[in-house]
């Protein structure tokens, strides 16, 4: 089956960049004129602005989201012999961050309705060595703050949020990144708030953690040529910070637009629920910022099976010019790189099943009503087209 050029790309940043091009050029030019390319004024300004927008007192810019997790955990005092609980259903950066700070990752399953960490499962794996929990605010939806705080208070755990997909998300009166001791964000270009390259930030309410992070990101030096830690070089570039400063004031509107697009999808896809095509549940109302719009194509193990497999559906959408994604096709515990952790297939059945069923549809500010209708129309055609007959052996 030949495919057409994508008329509905999975992500398209051109609309927001075109509108802000002159302002972004001006911001970059200001950095060039000042010559403060590393840890310059634009970084300081952005750190303060993003922290304030997220209801946290301190922000420390770093080179990427993975560094934000690894250095953030280290600054919180997490290290060897400490156990850190995180979901199996997340991007590998969460797990890599735990391993890089020397801690022992302890994986748990996810909620089949949302894909978020299963907090009931968390209680079953807590030991005297457990120091922290990383709730991943996946797809743009926060894990319940009230449940997290109750859990942390009961067992004396540090909450370190992975909010890489949840910029300015809200739930139960909390902003993403403001629940626990610290949190990590990524500014990879396709994020709700994206740079023109890699970038990240750690938010914290603890002044000592903030000071430690500033040293760790800069070779372990709290001041020039004086090194108190074995740190690294992980600094948010001034040029990227300048871009983020331009974009940040627009983030609220962009998030609102994402939510409106999701509501349109919800209405148009509602007839497909009876056919086993189920959007992941929104439990945060308007606080869900929909970094991704993800549906499950049920295989029959959990509800009525869809009349088409995820793989065939994705192929047919591609052929119709609609790009899609899978987040994520293989859970962390089944990735070859982490075989040494000792997990096996079957350990986290919900995450494993979801990895075979989830499909992310196009989602970005600038996605038009016509494109949304095209996505749903292509999905309708894909389902109504008979599956090819299988020849018996």
Length of the chain measured in residues? 393
Which one-letter DSSP state was computed for residue 295? Answer: E
- Of the candidates 104, 191, 247, 273, the residue annotated as catalytic is 191
Asked about 191 being catalytic, the answer comes back as yes
Q: How far apart are CA 263 and CA 267, in angstroms?
A: 6
Q: How far apart are CA 262 and CA 250, in angstroms?
A: 19
Phi, psi of 357 (to 5 degrees): -120, -25
> Sign of the C-alpha dihedral, residues 343, 84, 75, 142?
positive
Which residue, among 369, 372, 370, 365, has the nearest Cα to 17 in the 3D structure?
365
* C-alpha pair distances (Å), 128 with each of 84, 106, 184, 199, 228: 11, 13, 25, 35, 30
| CB neighbour class for 374 (10 Å; exposed up to 12, middle 13-18, buried from 19) | middle
Token pair, residue 151, equals 């859990």
Q: How far apart are CA 313 and CA 9, in angstroms?
A: 16
In this structure, are strands 130-133 and 83-87 parallel, antiparallel, or unpaired? parallel
Residues with catalytic annotation? Answer: 191
């Amino acid at each position: 089956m030949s495919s057409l050029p994508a008329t509905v790309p999975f992500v398209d940043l051109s609309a927001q960049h075109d509108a802000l091009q002159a302002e972004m050029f001006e911001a970059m030019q200001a950095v060039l004129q000042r010559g403060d390319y590393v840890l310059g004024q634009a970084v300081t300004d952005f750190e303060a602005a993003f922290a304030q927008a997220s209801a946290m007192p301190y922000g420390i810019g770093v080179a990427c989201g993975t560094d934000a997790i690894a250095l953030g955990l280290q600054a919180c005092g997490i290290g060897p012999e400490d156990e850190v609980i995180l979901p199996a259903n997340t991007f590998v950066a969460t797990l890599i961050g735990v391993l890089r700070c020397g801690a022992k990752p302890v994986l748990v399953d996810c909620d089949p309705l949302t894909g978020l960490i299963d907090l009931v499962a968390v209680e079953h794996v807590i030991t005297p060595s457990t120091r922290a929990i990383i709730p991943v605010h996946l797809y743009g939806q926060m894990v319940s703050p009230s449940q997290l705080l109750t859990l942390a208070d009961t067992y004396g755990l540090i909450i370190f949020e992975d909010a890489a997909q949840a910029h300015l998300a809200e739930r139960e009166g909390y902003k993403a990144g403001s629940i626990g001791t610290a949190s990590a964000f990524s500014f990879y270009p396709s994020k709700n708030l994206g740079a023109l390259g890699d970038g990240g930030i750690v938010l914290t309410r603890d002044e000592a953690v903030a000071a430690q992070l500033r040293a760790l990101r800069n070779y372990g030096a709290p001041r020039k040529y004086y090194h108190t830690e074995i740190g690294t070089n992980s600094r948010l570039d001034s040029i990227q910070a300048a871009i983020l400063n331009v974009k940040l004031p627009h983030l609220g509107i962009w998030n609102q637009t994402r939510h409106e697009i999701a509501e349109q999808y919800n209405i148009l896809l509602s007839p497909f629920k009876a056919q086993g095509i189920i959007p992941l549940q929104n439990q945060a109302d308007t606080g869900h910022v929909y970094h991704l719009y993800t549906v499950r194509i049920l295989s029959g193990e959990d509800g009525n099976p869809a009349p088409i497999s995820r793989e065939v559906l994705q192929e047919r959408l591609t052929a119709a010019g609609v790009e899609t994604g899978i987040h994520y096709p293989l859970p962390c515990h089944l990735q070859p790189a982490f075989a040494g952790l000792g997990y096996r297939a079957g350990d986290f059945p919900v995450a494993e099943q979801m990895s075979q069923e989830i499909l992310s549809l196009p989602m970005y500010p600038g996605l038009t009503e016509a494109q949304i209708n095209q996505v749903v129309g292509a999905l309708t055609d894909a389902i109504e087209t008979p599956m090819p007959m299988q020849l018996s052996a």
